[in-house]
Amino acid sequence: MQAPGSASTPRRPRNLALGLVDSMTARIRDGQMRAGDKLPTEAAIMSEFGVSRTVVREALSKLQAGGLVETRHGVGTFVVGTGETTNFRIAPEQIATAREVIAVLELRIGLETEAAGLAAVRRSEDNLRAMRKALASFTTAIDENGDALAPDFQFHLEIAKATQNVHFLELMTYLGTMIIPRARLNTAKVAGEGRRDYLRRVNTEHENIVNAIANHDPEAARAAMRTHLANSRERLRRAHEAAGG
């Protein structure tokens, strides 16, 4: 019988995957594989390193999470960076609690308050129509007891577009619908009111933002957006404290 830990003792798949990650990372960082290079196929990696497809896929997943590679479906996996710097990322598991959602709302207050001010100065009539269309969709969702999450996010996305600054739009697009608190928590319950009443109040806050943007009033737009997001933050904070958080 082989002694535990001897050379012929099979390593666990997790260790094999981490070893493969280390090997691939070293190749990327020493320049053997550069940004834009396509990685070998899964079969080729399996053959070279003597590991299973499961191990290869776990390793590629870790490399992707670390910002070193990206997989383009139907094309392959490509090197995108060296991993020397940490890419900004908010994973779904990072916004699973009230405290974590509050942290994202604090980020949004800084980002979207300024976006609203810029939108008030730079918005076009097309931008304004798109915001109002999102508001109308939100109202329809309330009246029909439908899903108001998509039009809520679309509304905020249209404001980012109206800044005419692609970086606001790209960051909001990256964050996606997970930035809307009720995508993670039952915010109507947190607020202590019915869903429809809660959403109507949210949409009234949206209307205040649009009115300020329509009036080319950047300070009013900033104030309306800050109030809207701060209200959500404070409701969650009170509920979190009441629960002993």
Q: Which of 178-181's residues contact partners 24+ apart within 8 Å by CB, and which partners? A: 178/90, 178/92, 178/95, 179/104, 179/108, 179/153, 180/149, 180/152, 180/153, 181/101, 181/105, 181/232, 181/236
Residue 35 Rama label (left phi>0; alpha psi -120 to 50; beta): beta
Q: Residue 216 has which token pair?
A: 């080319």
Which residue spans of the chain are classified as CATH 1.20.120.530? 92-242
Which residue spans of the chain are classified as CATH 1.10.10.10? 13-79
Q: What is the pLDDT along the chain (245 residues), one digit of tens a residue?
A: 444 444 444 444 447 888 898 899 888 888 888 888 899 999 999 999 999 999 999 899 888 877 788 888 778 899 887 655 555 666 666 666 777 888 888 999 999 999 999 999 999 999 999 999 999 999 999 898 887 888 998 999 999 999 999 999 888 887 776 667 665 555 555 555 677 888 898 999 999 999 999 999 999 999 999 999 998 888 778 766 766 65
Which CATH topology does 13-79 take?
Arc Repressor Mutant, subunit A (1.10.10)
pTM score of the predicted model = 0.61
pLDDT of amino acid 89: 63
pLDDT of amino acid 11: 43
pLDDT of amino acid 6: 42
pLDDT of amino acid 5: 43
Superfamily of domain 92-242: GntR ligand-binding domain-like (1.20.120.530)
- Opening angle at CA 189, ends 134 and 181, nearest 5: 45
Q: Are 77 and 70 in contact (CB under 8 A)?
A: yes
Q: Nearest Cα to 135, choosing from 115, 145, 114, 150? A: 150
CA distances from 129 to 28, 42, 90, 124, 194 (A): 47, 48, 31, 9, 30
* Residues in contact with 29: Cβ distance below 8 Å, sequence separation at least 6, in sequence order: 82, 83, 84
pLDDT of amino acid 12: 44
71 forms bridges with which residues in the sheet?
77
pLDDT of amino acid 96: 65
Element (H, E) at 79: strand 76-79
Convert the pLDDT of each residue in 145-164 to its tens digit. Answer: 887 888 998 999 999 999 99
Rounded Cα distance between 69 and 61, Å, is: 9
